[in-house]
Every structure is written in structure tokens, then in C-alpha cells.
Amino acid sequence: MRRILIATISLVVAAALWLPSIRLFYRPPEASLRPPGGVSPLARSLARRHLRLWTVPTLRAREIARMRSSNAEWDFMGRTYLVLAL
């Protein structure tokens, strides 16, 4: 019983030390998150993709079909938010 308790406490202490420090090892460069003079490249590419989805009808239809195939409620939710935004 004592061995199990020591092993459990050791795992908890190790997790308490290791988990908060993981972000230090896998941190992206600061410049990619917040560039000094504008929008980050990730945000710019996401905006470009979404604008392209809205302006090109074939891409939009393909994305909606993909959304509906994974979960029919996504389409309902999208329409609901569109109506609420108006």
C-alpha cells in the first residue's frame, strides 16, 4: 500500500512540474503571433480563406456540403447566426 501511495504522489508531483513547463518547449516564435506592424500571418491566411469561401460559389458549396456531411446541425447553426446577425 505504501508503494502505491509513493508512486501516486511521485506522479502527481512530476505532472505538477512538467505540465506547466510544456508551453516553454513548444512555443511558437513571438513574431509569428504578434508582428510589430500589423496582423499575424495566421490571422491573415484565415481571413483570406474565409473571404475566398464566401466569394467563390463552388468553394462555398463544397464547404457547406462538407459541413453537412459531418453534422447536419452545423448548417442549421450557420443559418441561425446569419439571421441573428441581421
Q: pLDDT higher for 15 or 37? A: 15
Question: What is the average pLDDT value for the chain, to the nearest integer?
Answer: 85
Q: Which amino acid is at 48?
A: R
Which pLDDT does position 36 carry in this prediction? 74
**pTM reported for the whole predicted model:** 0.47
Residues 69-85 have pLDDT tens digits of 887 787 788 788 878 88
Rounded Cα distance, 76 and 69, in Å: 13
To the nearest 10 degrees (0 to 180), the angle between helices 57-70 and 72-85 is 120
% pLDDT > 70, the chain? 97
